[in-house]
Structure 1
């Protein structure tokens, strides 16, 4: 059995030709749409808002007069810590009772001690360096640095295949 079809009715041969004609028409329409401009219109960028003009006022430089500073207040006296004596468990310790002022009925006498003067140590401020005396460098010098870089930098295989070159 043979296929009985006339060459005039075969649409498969004209399919690619129609597709190409469609692409050309669409590209032409896109080109016209992108290039479409109206040349008669004027663009006005003035919004009608005017900035107010400010005059800069020259303010004279004021200097403060140095006033003698009052000496800083004396530091607070450090609190005295109680020293505890720890007794052995085997030692015989006599128990004593302490009578409070409520039980005895006497007034409480407070003895004031003279404040202890503490000598202040002057702390030496750390000096801020503006210039470094010895610049940092790679251990072993510049030659070792270049050896390290040559050993550890891997050139990408994709860039080698495409022949891409350049500096990083």
Structure 2
């Protein structure tokens, strides 16, 4: 047996009506909220508090009383006052003027300026000397004379040095460096010869060879002959 519902008791038939009523109520509440007026809250004038009267303090006025200083009694007066007469006569001295009259001629001795000659102390390096020493046979400019000087010294060393000496001394094969330094003095002679070599006998041979350098034209600095220092390295090949 089936149970039948009363169609009037079915609420689904009234769902559309409920929905419309809900929409109307929502629109009414929204409209009322928009139309509601609000007013700013105002406060009564409380007045300004004056704090300056409370902060003012009464400062008592004080006076500085200075204590009186004890007075010192005046010095006693002398018993007798003697008057001394000045009988000496003062001699007046006449100071003569040293100024000359414009009309008077003044004799002035001729002043001769003497040029002080600057002395060059010590020897000058070969690379900075104004006029380089001239090796016999060299000609040309200062630069050409420098190159010619070095070539002549190397040629002299190669010719005079005993090339077999390093091999005879039993040195290890390879290149051996020899440093030589000497001075061409103011007269053009080669002096103060110094050498560094890998063996004392080689050093002795080097000094012997460099002592045979010829006399040269001395170098000049500011037009005066000066000593000139010269240094040159050599390489010996030991087989």
Q: What's the TM-score bracket when you normalise by the shorter of the two chains? A: under 0.3
TM-score normalised according to structure 1 size: 0.23
Q: Radius of gyration: which is bigger?
A: 2
* Greater per-residue strand proportion: 2
TM-score, length of structure 2 as denominator length: 0.17
